[in-house]
Structure formats: C-alpha cells, structure tokens
Structure 1
Amino acid sequence: MATAEAAQRWGSVLDAVVVYAQGALCRRLARGSVPADGRVRVTGLPRSLDPGSLRARALGAPGVRVTEARIEVEAEPYDTGAPDGLRREVERLRDECAAARGRRDRQLSLIEEVRALRPVPPPRRKDDPHRRTPVDAWLELADFVDERLTGLHSRLVGLEEALRRVEHELTVALDRLARASTDAPSAQVETTVSAVVALDGAEGTEVELELEYGVPGAVWVPAYRLFHRRGDSGGRLVLRASVAQRTGEDWTGVRVALATADLRRATDLPRLRSVRIGRRQPAPASSGWREPPAGLADLFAGYDAAGPRPVTAPARDAVVAGAAPVPVAAAGGPASAPVPPPPPPAPSAPQGYGGPAGVLPVPGGVLGAPPAPFAGEAPDLAAPPPPLRPQRAGKARAGGGPFAAPAAMAPAAPFGAAPPPPAAPAPAPVAGPPQPSGAELDYTTLVLSGPDEQGGRRGRLFPDSPFDPVAAEHRRRAASVAALPLPGHAVRPRESAGSFDHRFDAVARADIPSDGTWHTVTVGEIPVGLRTEYLCVPSVEQTVYATLVLSNATGQALLAGPVEVTVDDDFLLTAALPTLAPGGVCRVGLGPAEGIRVTRRTNLHESTSGLRNNTTVLDHRVHVELANRLAGPVTVEVRERAPVTSEPDVRIEERSDWTAPGDAPGPEHHAPGTRVWRVDLPAGGTAALDGGYEIRIPAGKALVGGNRRS
C-alpha cells in the first residue's frame, strides 16, 4: 500500500514565473507514469496560492488528458531534524539574554542591599545617661560599605556590557530571521499544498504535467544601465528589474518574465441591458437560472432512513452524558426552547424543495419567504425561530416539527421583569420573478451542499466561501511586499505603463528567494538610438551641458525608472528615465562639459519713430560666442527666448537666423517664444552668433518690469 501511495505522489519543479504589477503566475512541471486509477498528487505547491487559479494540462502524451484538478491541504508533523539553524540561534540568544538580564538584576539588588546598610543607634530609655557616639565603628562601617559597593559596581559594569552584547546579537539574529526566506515552515505542524489531478489515458503512459497557478506577494519595478563611449553615435541600454517576492517558495533557477498588466483586474464583460420605450415590462430572468426541482427531499430519503451518523471524537467530547440539550438563541431575543431531535422522515410525504416555487436559495436562507423545513430536516440555526406560544395538551403542531415545543418548555420571565419583545415579523415575499445575485450566477464558485448541511441547504448550490486562517495569514504576509519602499527614481509599472501592457522575458534563468527584499534581475539588452548633444541656455547660465538623446527603436515601450549612466567604463550618474513609447525620444543629462566655453553679451538701443515720434523702438542685440576645446567635433544647441505679446498695439520684429523649436528636431516641449541655434563646432573651433529683436510700443507706455531686457 505504501508503494502504491508513493507511486501516486509526484514531485514537481518550478520552471517559470511571470511577475505582474502585483502578483505572479507560476508554472510547475511534474513527470511520471499514469497510474491504474488515473489520480496523482503533485506536491510542492506554496501555501499562499489562489485555489481558483489552478490550471493543469498534460504535455507530451496526445492520448492523455486532464479531467479534474483540485487543491488539497495536508498537515504533518514538522521534521525537527531538518536544518533550522537561524531559528535555533534566535532561541538560544533569547535564553542567553534572559540569563544575562537576570544576573544584572541580581547584581542591582545586591547593590541596593549594601547601600541600605547604615548605623542604627540603640533606643535610649528615659533614665539612661548620654552615651558617646562610636565614631570608629561608624567609620569602619562606612569603609566596608564603600569597599563593597566599589566591587559590586565593577562587576555590574561587566554584566551590563555582556547584556548589551547579547541584546545586540539577538537584534541582529531577529533581523536576519525576519529577512529570511518564507519557504521554510514556521510551526511544528507543517501544512503542505498538493494538486490532485485526474488523468484519462492508458495506464503506464509517460506524461508531463504542467500546473499553472497564481500567487500574491510579488512586485517589480524596472531599472536600466546605459553604456556609452564619447565620440560614438550609439550605446547599449540594458534592462534590469528589481523584483521582490514573499510568496512562500524560493524561485530557484526559474525563467522570469515581467508584465505590466494587473493580475487581479476583473476581465468580465459588461452586461448591457436593453432600453425600451413604452409600458414598463418585468425584467427577464437571468440566464442560466431555473426554479428548484420538485421532490428534492426524496433524494435523501435513503440517507435519512439509515439513521444518524456516528459521532466523531471532538463532538463526543463536547457532549456531556445526561446533559440537557442547548437551547437555540434568537438574535436579539431570549433563548428558545430546546430543539428535540427530528423524527425520521416519512417517505410517503415528500416536502418538495423546501419552499414555494420560484424562491431562490441564497447563503443562510432564501430570497423571499423563508423555506418551510421538510421532514427530517433541522431548522436553519442562523435564522430567528418563531415565537413560542403556550399550547394546550394535544394541540401541538402536527407532524412533530422541530419547533413543536410544549408550553412547559417555554422559558418563563422572571418576576417583575418586562415581557420579552415580540419577534420581528417575517419579511413579505418579493413580488415578481426571482432576482439572483451575482454570487448565485458565478458558476465556478457554486458548491453542491451535502446531506449533512442544515437549514434547508441539502442538495442546493451555494457559493463556496471557505475561510482558511492559515492560508489567509500566508496571503497577508505575502501582500506586505506591496508596501516596500521603492528604489531611487523607481516608478511602479502600472503608473508608468498607462493604457498599454507589455511583457519582457529575461534572457537567462534567475534565483529570487522569498525574503521580501529587492533583488536585481537582468532582463536583456534593448537596441536604442543614441547621439550626444550639447545644450546651453546662456541667458540663464553660461555653462554648456552634455546630454544623450535616447530614442526607442523597439516595438515595446520603455517604462519609467532609474538609469545608471556609464561613460567610457566610468560610472557617471543615476538619472530618471521617463516612459518612452515606441519611437519616442528623450534627453538624459550628463553634467557640465568643461571643454566648451560660452559667452553672452547684450545691448539695448532705445529710440523713437513715427510721424510725431509716437512709437518707442527698443532694439535688443544678443551676441553669443562659443569655443570648443574638446578633441573632437561637437554639435551645440543654444537656446534663447524672444518676447511674445497679445497686445494689439505692441509689435515684435525678430532679426536673427535662429529657428523656432517646432522647426528643429528635439525631444522636449518648449515654452512659447523659445528660439534655437544649432552650431557644429570642429575640434578647437569657435563660433559667433548674433541675434536680436525690436519691440515697438506706444510712446506713452512702458513694459512691465522695465524696457530693458537681458
């Protein structure tokens, strides 16, 4: 039997991971022969996986197909002999810290005892003569206390130093434990997650299973490294990714892909309802829903006739022999009478579905009127019971239903107490056809209730909402990576991707432990266009800056993130790269270019013109000189700004060979009035640029801030 069980358990290997903006999609591979019963158990799945995301398919065997795949959780004692040195080290340091703290506290208590020593003279009676003070004894006691305190304080210094050292070691060990991988179990009972897969195929056929499942607790942000050499017209841009994951399993030797999509985003198609003009018509019934079948109670007649199920050990321990049954308490009201066990069902009197036709079952009850319990069915404990009324002997409810209690069993109110409030009336049935909610129409989450369900749920479909506290804790710990502080200049993929989604596949396999910290993964090299340009705005600062104009020549967007610029094998700086769509262009600054000098001088000449000198002419002249002291030719872009106006009586005439930014190629958006010179300077060459403009305003007016412009 053990051999058969071992043959049905297949080990699996994590092969590939696709990391999304939040969460990841993992792909595991398992290989083996199809057993006789066709059912195999694939082990190695993480505890934090989403059970609804499991997908399985058979590879390499055309005649084998997967007919069922579900998740099962097993618990087994944790192997204490497994290597867990870090956790044992923390426990050892805790014990050592407690012992050191105890020694320090005992030393402090000894110091307080010695410090409390003082001479106490004997009490003097009324007729006793005055005595001489024993000064020598007092001095000897003071010397003894001083000597003793000196020794105790010397030992206390050593004990406090030892305590500080152990506390520091404990703090370091706790930090290492907190940053350690969550792949290891954290309790003495290990819970393992397996996928039970049913295969339909010939026995003994070799097959490779592919399991795909989603896990939370994985995030990534892009990063870049740019290599450039001075004088070259190109460069290399390497895409890297900072990945952090706390999924509960280490990703060792996996193929990593990075996607900008949101794994948790709903992809359901919207439901478009028709708009009709005319008389109001009832809403049509939702597609896929039908009324409950009649005679549902007969389905469990044989099960009920077989008698009650044997009581399990926990339930047997909870029931005390000879104890009275526990009364059922209504919400907000007094406890009701004890519920007697239901009688066996009457096969000749089927009660149907447990409610009127057209009533939709919902969790904890029905939509509309509450269902009447059929024979052999316990009432819904979640719903308030009907009020108990005194009945005469022999006038009990026919059929001996679960709420048919005699008057003697009704709880009596204490003397002088107010009578209990009346029970709330049952809600009126909803008129019209049933309106099932979205949970009842989500067929993937509906589960058929078994014969042991209470409250009229037997044989009906209800949304499955199991709560696993262990899995919830694992998912909560996994989701904590979303709050990690981002690296410098990093931007989350969903914020920079905008309305598009892309996927980037790493060129090599990578190792990413489940420790919740950032790890760098090299994705690959991206072909980009690079050219070096020099830029200066002499009206603001007479300094020339070197820049790299980067153009995206790929079909994928480059996401925003930090870029490390390396020029001539020397690290230069880390800049922020904006999002670049396919064909986009951006500029990355490299700092001041000390080998290029720029000088700017301005001259203003003010005069009048017109028939009666009624126009003031402000003639501004700009002179810019450039000098290239580099070893190669350069292209320098000099920017100036001409004034703009919306006043009809102000005219501006430009007299220069500069161009507007719209006519010159460039990656930035320029302010109105910006003018550009583009000059090619050979090695050791110079250039002089002359420009200017005239401002004509009425003679009785002046420019705001003065007529002189720099």
Structure 2
Amino acid sequence: MAGKRAVWESGLESVVVHAVGAVCRRRASGVVPADGRVRVAGLPRLAAAGSLRVRVLSGDGRVAEARLEYPARVRSDDERPAWEQELKELRARVELLEERRARLEERIAEVAALRPVPPQRRRDEGHRRAPADAVLALAEFVDTRLEVLQERAVELAQEVRLAEHALLVAEERADARSSAERPGGVAAGACAELTVRGAGPVELEVEYAVPGAVWVPTYRLAHRRGERTARLVLRASVAQRTGEDWSGVRLALSTASLVRSGALPELASLRIGRRQAVPAPSGWRAQPAGLDDLFAGWQDAQRAKPEPEPYAASAPVAVAVAGGGPVPAPKPAPRPSARRASAARARGPAGAPGAPGFVPTAPPVPVAPVMPMMPVAASAPPPPPAPAGAAPPGQAYGGAPQGYGGAAPEPFADFAPAAAPDPRPSADQLDYPAMVLAGPEEESYRRGRLFPEPARPGAGGGALYEAEAVGRLPLPRFGAPPRESAGAFDHRFDAQAPAHVPADGGWHTVAVAELPVGVRTGYVTVPSVEEAVYAVLELTNATAHALLAGPVEVSVDGDFLLTAALPTLAPGGVREVGLGRAEELRVARHTEVRESTSGVLNSTTVLDHGVRIELVNRLPHEASVEVRERVPVPGDPEVRIEERPGWSPPAEPSAEVPASARIRRVVVPPGGSVELTGGYVVRIPAGKAVVGGNRRS
C-alpha cells in the first residue's frame, strides 16, 4: 500500500550496562522498499530519542534518516498478560466474598434480635397465661438458625482468608514481574523510523540508550593452601527495569557514565597586549536575511483557507470604536480573576495588549512552552546590562532572543525588546544535536529557527520512575557502585557467555570472567592489643583487568571460609584481604619493667621495658607471621627513647599502621614455636613524669 512503511522485526543482540543506564543493540534485516521507508519495531518505550544510532552491517544501502517514534495501540483482551487477568479475578472474588460476609453478618444480627412480643392487653381484660411453648419454640428456632449461620460464617471467613492470601501472593508476583509485560488496554512501545537509500537485502544495527539499569561487581576466590596462584571468578549483580528482557544477549559491563559529557573542554587563552575582540565560537552563524519572507507563500496559502464557523454559544466580545470607549456587549463578560487582572496591568499602557481601551479582534497567538513571559511596563526600569561575553538570557540560536528567534510575534511587534548587536550564545545553545528546526506549522516568530527540542511523547513519568528505582536498591554487603570505586579510570568487562537478565528490578548474578591472580597467605598479630593471630590473603593482580571494590567469597581447599571486602585493585597492584582469626596459631606476650636512675646525682629516671613474645604453629606447614609492636613517641625533647634492635618501622605509615609501630617478620616451622624479644628504654629527666603515670604495659 502506498504511503505505508515496511515493518522489520528486530532482535536484541548485545547490551552494555554502564554505571547508570545501558546501551542496547538490535539487528534487523529485510529488503529495502522502493520508497526506502522502513520501520524497525521491537524497541522499548524507554528508549532515549537522542541516543538512536543506525548503521548498515551488510548490503548495498545507507541510512539517510533515523528517528524514534512512540506508537500506541489498543490491545484486545487476548493480548493482555495472564497475571493481569488473574489479579482482576482475584480482586473480584475477594470483593464478592466480603459482600457475602457482610450480608451474612446482617442476617445473623437479624436472627439474634428475634424476641417474643406479647400482644397489647386491653384495659378491661385480665392477665393472660404466658404461652411457654411458643416462647420455647422461638428460642429453639433462633438457636438452630444461628448454629447454621455461624457455621456458614466460619466457612466464609476461611474462604475470605484464602482469597486474600491468594491475592497478596498474586500482587507480590505482579510487583516482581518483568517490566516488559505492561498492564492496561494500551500497548505502548517505540520504533525506529528510517529512510534507507539503496536496493536489495540489507542488515541494520540499531543502537539506543535506556535508563533503569545498574550493576555492582562481586567475586568468588578459590585457592588451596601452599599454592601461589588462585582462581578469581568475576561476577556481576545486575538489576534492570528497562522495559525489555535481556534473554541470551552478549553482556558487557562498563564503569563509564552515560550522562557525562564527552566533549573536549575549551581552554581560554591569556594574552598580554592590546585588547582584541573575542572571536565568535565555532559553528555560530547569524540569522540569514529575509528569513521571514521565506514562508510568505505558505502563510498566504494558510490565510486563503476558509475559517471555521464560530460556535453559536460563544461569548459576545466588546469592540473598540474610534469615537470613544468600547461599546458594551449585550451581556457583561465574566469578571477576570485577580491573576489575569494583575497580568493585564503588567503588560503596558493603553493600546497595549491587556490595557484599557484595547480589545483584540482575534484570539491571541498561543504561547509556546519555551517562550518566556516578557511583561513590558512604561515605568519598569531597564534590565541590568549583561557582562561582556555573556549570552542574553533565553536566547535562541541565530542571534535572537529565545522564544522569539529574531522576530517578535505579530501582536507584540511594537513591544518586543531590541536584539543584542553582538549576540553571544551559551553552551547549551551550541549543542546542535539537541536543537530542532521549527517548521512552517509553528508560530511566525519560530519558523526557520533553532530551538531546544521539546519533550517527546515517549514513556510516562510512572514508567521512568519505576526504571530509576533500581538505582535505589540496597547494595549487597561490601558492595560499592562501580563509578565510585573505579576512580579516575573507565574499564569494560565482557561476559564470556550469553546472559539472561529479566526486567523485574531485582538483582541477578551473571558470571563475567575467570581471572588468575597471585596469592600469598600471611598472618598478622598485634599482641599488645589482642593475643590472637589473624590470617591475611595477599592478592596480586597480574592481569590487564582492573578489579573494582566489592564482596569476595573466599573458599580454602574447597570449603567456604567467609565473605570479605575486596578493595579496588589496579593491574599489578597488591592488596590484603583479611580472612579472620587463625585458631591454629597461638601467641603470648610477656612484659617486664625495671625502673632505675642514672646520671650525675641520679638526675635521670630510666624505665626499661622488656617484651617477650611466643608464637606456636599447629599448622601442617610453615607460617609467615608479621608481629606488630609499638613504642612511645616523646613529646618533650629532653625525653629520650632507646629501642632494642631487630624491629623496623613501617615502610609506608598509614592509619592502621602508624609511624610509631614496629614490625618484625618471622617464619614459624610446622608444629614448632618461635620466641621474640624486644622492648625500649625511656629516659626521663628528674622532676618530670609521664602524663598519666609511667605506662608499664
């Protein structure tokens, strides 16, 4: 049929998940029609319009035009998802059972309220004998009936509880469903409207960006005791609610951000000498002359069209006459609101729109969303001058104020502000991909000029809010967003097998790659703080891939040990991962303090601190233990600290290992023990003492 586009179905091939959002690629193929108009269907309705990219993979053709459209159609009852129909039926059943229970409770109340009522006795009539048989019969009837109704009430309450439970389960399943199954009677999606030049079969690749996708790295480390290498499996926890399921796609994970600008910065130059004019930015062009005359023929054709008949029920309008004030209408017009009255007073003096004595004979030009309100008042002060080099506020591309495009609207022609003699565009006005050329159907002051692209009628706010909700999911323990842990670099990890990630907004684990790393098991003890030995796994990243911070599940000899926090590890970097307390290694610390005096007339107090540390190894192999001690730091130049040899300060002091720490490494043989000695001597002049007493721990 002439004028109808050829529809090509597409299939999702690959997805690159960024720090926030994802870039999807689809493939479509077909024979190019004679007019070249092709519609590629299957895109989600959250596809961003500015991210559409199309290229030809095979065939004789080229893409001349590509844009995103968001068609919608009414779905039949058979096309609606089964879970929606199930929810509808369960809600109807719960409402029906609730109504039955309410009516049953009313019947129980009516039966329980039955009481024998004696007839009214006349004045001349004596007392009657009470009909005991009738009263007992009524009581028996009430008891029997209430017993039946109460049994039915118990059964009905049980049915209500079961129906409410089934409804709750169905609602939980509906909340956890894939966002690709949208409820409602309208099917909304997106499609790529293309114009392909060429002939014959063509294969296309359609690329677009979608929000609502996040990922965090996780790891699994398996090693055996005594070995110097281990297997580190890189996994990713991916959550997405993009409106389409990723089934059997090639998945890649990137630390880059989709919203970060990739344009090169422009560095301002500093010149010494005579002041020169600021050069115009690249790509800036003034408005062409005679732009308004370009649409003169189209405007004349529009005026020649017959005007529609006005409605008979239209309100009468007062018309201004030359000799005096406006002629009153047959019926007074409704009084304008205070907001309209204040706006009318702010527009200008008599003769201006909204002023007394001026009544338009035609409806005013509708105001575009991007046109700012520009009230003009006779007594209003002029705006302050803009700084040199700054763009006038609200300016559109081409040297005209934004919303006016160099020519004011016809009703406001006499009150439009004068254009700047040398307009300077701002950064957003030089973003040409985000600008749209207004066509002839726009208002006269917009035709042929560039304006920021208005919001497209794509996905609604509710779907976008649901998609962005994945960014607020609680992270796994020790998890960190990749953009924060990556630091100053960006890296991409490609999964080695096809992945399946449904669009249900929950975390799904995907295996990415297996990386060989170097490991060395060591032990650290700080007996002055705690007499315990802790195992430490030293990881060496010998691959070309950077390892981001995240949780790592450590298993030793096939047995799961614990989940630890892996810090960010650059290629070639070395980091330590704590494995917890090593019960097979024991440590004991013994101290001894001797106080004496020395010097002439015993002018110096000598505090000799001796430390003896015993290490016992019950492991079947030798253990390399790092023993950390500490020495006091003098705050007085007259106080001297003398250390015993054999201990060394840390090579790189940190918050965990300060400069006052002393380290000694020793290898304990299997089943053996080692004894270390150390300590220090504190010499304090007479008349001085350590604040808080001489610490002799």
TM-score by length of 2: 0.82
Q: Which amino acid aligns with 1:66?
A: V
2:616 maps to 1:627: yes
From 144, 153, 160, the counterpart of 2:157:
160
**SS in structure 2 opposite 1:267?**
coil
Q: 1:598 to 1:144 in 2, by over 3 A?
A: same
Match of 1:66 among 63, 67, 71: 63
Contact kept, 8 Å, 1:221 with 1:242, in 2: the verdict is yes
CA deviation string 1:105-155 (max 9, x = no partner): 112212222333345566678887777777776666555545544443332
Is 1:698 matched with 2:694?
no
Distance in structure 2 (CA, Å) of the matches to 1:568 and 1:469: 54
- C-alpha separation between the residues in 2 aligned to 1:44 and 1:372? 42
Structure 1 residue 35 corresponds to structure 2 residue 33: yes
Which letter maps to 1:480? A
* 1:170 paired to 2:172: no
Partner of 1:485: 474
User: What is the percentage of aligned positions where both structures have the same residue?
Assistant: 51
Cα offset, 1:308, TM superposition: 5.6
**1:12-59 deviations in Å (ceiling 9; x for gaps):** 111111110000011111223333333322211111011111111112
Tell me what 1:235 maps to: 230
Q: Which amino acid aligns with 1:638?
A: V
Report the alpha carbon displacement of residue 527 of structure 1 after superposing the two structures with TM.
2.2
- Cα distance in 2 between the residues matched to 1:687 and 1:255: 55
Once the two structures are superposed, residues 484-541 of structure 1 have per-residue CA deviations (whole angstroms, 9 ceiling, x without a partner) of 1111111111111112111111111101111111100111012211011122222222
What is the correspondence of 1:35-184 to structure 2 with a 5 Å cutoff? 35-61=33-59, 63-82=60-79, 84-119=81-116, 141=138, 144-184=141-181
Pick from 358, 361, 365 the counterpart of residue 404 of structure 2: 365
Q: Give the TM-score taking structure 1 as reference length.
A: 0.81
Moved more, 11-20 or 590-599: 590-599
Taking the aligned partners of 2:24 and 2:618, their CA distance within structure 1 comes to: 57
| 8 A Cα contact 1:325 1:338, kept in partner | no
Change in CA separation of 1:217 and 1:295 when aligned onto 2, cut-off 3 Å: closer
CA distance in 2: counterparts of 1:583 and 1:667, whole angstroms: 21
Q: After superposition, where does 1:606-621 map in structure 2 within 5 Å?
A: 606-621=595-610
- Aligned match of 1:261 in 251, 256, 268? 256
1:193 aligns with 2:190: yes
Of 557-566 and 216-225, the range deviating more from structure 2: 557-566
Task: Find the aligned partners of 1:15 and 1:34 in 2 and give their Cα distance.
Answer: 22
Q: Distance in 1 between matches of 2:135 and 2:560?
A: 76
Quickly say closer, same or farther: Cα 1:119–1:702, change in 2 above 3 A: farther
Pick one of 295, 298, 314 that aligns with 1:299: 295
Distance in 2, matches of 1:371 and 1:147, equals 88
SS at match of 1:528: strand
Choose which of 465, 482, 490 in structure 2 pairs with 1:501.
490
Q: Which moved more, 1:103-112 or 1:473-482?
A: 473-482
| Cα separation, 2, equivalents of 1:279 and 1:107 | 97
Q: Counterpart amino acid of 1:37?
A: D
Paired letter, 2:244: E
1:204-243 residue pairs with structure 2 within 5 A?
204=200, 206-243=201-238
Summarize deviations over 1:638-688 as a string: whole Å, max 9, x none. Answer: 21111112311111111141222229xx99951122112211122211111
**1:138-179 Cα deviation digits (max 9, x unpaired):** 666555545544443332222112111111111111111111
- Taking the TM superposition and a 5 Å limit, the aligned residue runs for 1:625-664 are 625-662=614-651
Aligned letter for 1:14? L
1:624 Cα offset (Å)? 1.1
Report the 3-state secondary structure (helix = DSSP H, G, I; strand = E; otherwise coil) of the residue aligned with 2:592. strand
Which stretch shows the higher mean deviation, 677-686 or 514-523?
677-686
SS in 2 for 1:534: strand
Take 2:267 and 2:227, find their aligned partners in 1: how far apart are those partners? Answer: 58
The residue that corresponds to 1:553 in the other structure is 542
Shift in Å at residue 704 of structure 1? 2.5
**Shift, 1:433, TM fit:** 2.4
Q: State the aligned residue count.
A: 632
The residue number in structure 2 matching 1:577 is 566
User: Are 1:322 and 2:312 counterparts?
Assistant: yes
Indicate how the Cα distance of structure 1 residues 128 and 278 shifts in structure 2: closer, same or farther if over 3 A, else same. Answer: farther
Counterpart residue type for residue 21 of structure 1: A
Unpaired segments ≥5 residues, structure 2: 318-332, 345-353, 365-396
Cα 1:145–1:435 shift into 2, 3 Å = farther
Q: CA deviation at 1:436?
A: 4.1
Residues 130-139 or 48-57, more deviating:
130-139
More displaced stretch, 550-559 vs 32-41: 32-41
Q: Which amino acid aligns with 2:692?
A: G
Report the aligned-residue RMSD.
Answer: 3.3
> Residue 290 of structure 1 aligns to which amino acid in structure 2?
A
Name the CA distance, whole Å, in 1 between partners of 2:655 and 2:409. 74
Asked whether the 8 Å contact 2:251–2:498 carries over to 1, the reply is yes
* Alpha-carbon separation, structure 2, partners of 1:224 and 1:282: 58
The answer to whether the 8 Å contact 2:229/2:516 transfers is no
What is the CA deviation profile of residues 599-644 of structure 1, one whole-angstrom value per residue up to 9, with x for unaligned ones? 2111111111111111111111111111212111211122111111
Q: For 1:150 and 1:114, how far apart are their aligned partners in 2? A: 11
Deviates more, 1:428-437 or 1:207-216: 428-437
Instruction: State yes or no: 1:246 paired with 2:266.
Output: no
Equivalent residue for 2:13, pick from 12, 15, 22: 15
Structure 2 partner of 1:351: none
Decide whether the 8 Å contact of 2:518 with 2:540 is kept in 1. Answer: yes
Letter in 1 for 2:35: D
1: CA distance between counterparts of 2:246 and 2:466? 17
Q: Deviations over 1:183-240 (max 9, x none)?
A: 1243322233221222333x22x33211111111100001000101122222111110
Question: Quick one: structure 1 residues 672 and 286, their matched pair in 2 at CA, closer, same or farther if it must change by over 3 Å?
Answer: closer
Please report how far the alpha carbon of residue 549 of structure 1 lies from its aligned counterpart in structure 2 after TM superposition.
1.0
Is the partner of 2:533 in helix, strand or coil?
strand
Cα distance between partner residues in 1 of 2:465 and 2:487: 28
Letter in 2 for 1:296: D
Q: In 1, distance between residues paired with 2:202 and 2:81?
A: 36
Deviation at 1:483, TM superposition (A): 1.2
**Distance (whole Å) between structure 2 residues aligned to residue 573 and residue 179 of structure 1:** 30
Q: 3-state SS of the aligned residue for 1:542?
A: coil
Deviation at 1:461, TM superposition (A): 2.9
* Residue identity in the other structure for 1:297: D
Distance 2:170 2:302 in 1: 60
What SS does structure 2 have at the residue aligned with 1:491?
A: coil
| Post-superposition CA distance 1:332-371 (Å, at most 9, x none) | 24788564499xxxxxxxxxxxxxxx9944554356xx62
Amino acid at match of 2:586: R
CA–CA separation in structure 2 for the residues paired with 1:643 and 1:468: 71
Partner of residue 526, structure 1? 515
Q: Please tell me whether the aligned partners of residues 447 and 461 of structure 1 are also in contact (alpha carbons under 8 angstroms).
A: yes
Q: Residue in 1 aligned with 2:446?
A: 457
Going from structure 1 to structure 2, the CA distance change for 1:475 and 1:259 (only over 3 Å counts) comes to same
Query: Which SS does the other structure have where 1:530 is aligned?
Result: strand
Mean CA deviation greater in 52-61 or 462-471 = 462-471
